Amino acid sequence: MKKIFLTILLTAGSLFAEINVDATYATMGAIAKRIGGDNVHVVVLGSSKYDPHFIVPKPSLLAKLRRADLLIINGGGLELGWLPPLIKSANNGKIQVGAQGFLDMSHFIKMIDKPASVSRAFGDIHAQGNPHYSTDPHQVSIMAKAIAKKLSQIDPAHANEYQQNLEQFLAKWNAYLTNYDNKMAACKVKKIVQYHELYNYFLRRYDITNIGNIEPLPGIAPSSKHTLELINAMKANGVKKILQDVYHEKRTAKFIAAKTGATVSVIPHEVGAVKGSDTLENFYNTIAQRICK
């Protein structure tokens, strides 16, 4: 009788156990929470307040990776500077590259800005293309489908729930996108300058032209010569909007704005990067509002 009771307890425990999901960045983590619901416990490894290229590999991250059943990464080389040593040290077979509990989201995305060749002479470029695809709200549906499929694979007992959550989420998100696209169609800002090429997917989606970057090359600090050239280009093209992220220095953007009469708008690159961007909807609403106002 005791054995039967113990078996029932173990079975019930496995049915109601949470799946530990680690996401490298907050936007993917927010999507995983929507799809996983009560069946998942989601941990975001990288803070939205910092440069996603250079997350500090703290011991606390190692502890989280050791407990993970699923690791969702952005991919495209974005985590290359900090994540691989952590995965190796975690010694968790579930989340090693190629394992069932490893999900590289970039494999589902049509990457843009792929370089013809890779050289340090071109700055800190990514061989697979621009990895900052999550700034485009239309990529959310792709990511949600990939996460639902992966959760169903590693937790088949709740596969029906993940599918139902996905269908409900997509229905609401498609309605949100229709309204969002209509608002962006009315956006009067059609030319911008950005610090780093964080927003290319968003800009391409809504036909906004980036006429230059404050960085002369990716990962290279702006020089006086490049800044002057950018100021002249902004004046020649009538650019009045500078997109500034939260983690690069802001002095150069303010200087350029003073010389051109442009407005500097701090734009979130991930969910939670700025105040009021703590949900998926608020994240994308904030991007639109701060670009278009």
Q: Give pLDDT, residue 114.
A: 79
Mean pLDDT of the 271-275 span = 97
Q: Give pLDDT, residue 162.
A: 98
Higher-confidence position of 113 and 173: 173
Q: Pull the structure tokens for residue 130.
A: 């621009």
pLDDT over 90, % of the chain: 86
pLDDT band at 9, cuts 50/70/90? very low
Q: For 128-132, 198-202, 227-231, which range has the lowest pLDDT when averaged over its residues?
A: 128-132
* 291 within 8 A of 243, measured Cβ to Cβ: yes
Q: Pull the structure tokens for residue 171.
A: 């229905």
Mean pLDDT of the 113-117 span = 73
* CATH number attached to the domain at 187-292: 3.40.50.1980
The residues that bridge with 194 in the sheet, in sequence order, are 213, 243
Q: For 111-120, 149-158, 242-251, which range has the lowest pLDDT when averaged over its residues?
A: 111-120
Residue 288 has pLDDT above 50, yes or no: yes
pLDDT band at 122, cuts 50/70/90? very low
Q: Give pLDDT, residue 219.
A: 85
Q: Give pLDDT, residue 177.
A: 98
Residue 10 has pLDDT above 90, yes or no: no
Every domain of the chain with CATH number 3.40.50.1980 lies at 2-177, 187-292
Written in H, E and C, the secondary structure of the chain is: CHHHHHHHHHHHHHHHCCEEEEECCHHHHHHHHHHHHHHEEEEECCCCCCCCCCCCCCHHHHHHHHHCCEEEECCCCCCCCCHHHHHHHHCCHHHCCCCCCEEEHHHHCCCCCCCCCCCHHHCCCCCCCCCCHHHCCCHHHHHHHHHHHHHHHHCHHHHHHHHHHHHHHHHHHHHHHHHHHHHHHCCCCCEEEECCCCCHHHHHHCCCEEEEECCCCCCCCCCHHHHHHHHHHHHHHCCCEEEECCCCCCHHHHHHHHHHCCEEEECCCCCCCCCCCCCHHHHHHHHHHHHHC
* 19 within 8 A of 41, measured Cβ to Cβ: yes
* Tens-digit pLDDT profile for residues 42-89: 999 999 999 999 999 889 999 999 999 999 999 999 999 999 999 999
Mean pLDDT of the 273-292 span = 98
pLDDT band at 123, cuts 50/70/90? very low
Domain 2-177: give its CATH superfamily: Nitrogenase molybdenum iron protein domain (3.40.50.1980)
Mean pLDDT of the 198-225 span = 96
Q: For 46-60, 164-178, 259-273, which range has the lowest pLDDT when averaged over its residues?
A: 46-60
pTM: 0.91
How many Cβ atoms from other residues are within 10 Å of residue 14's Cβ? Answer: 10
Cα distances from 86 to residues 15, 27, 194, in angstroms, run 30, 21, 32
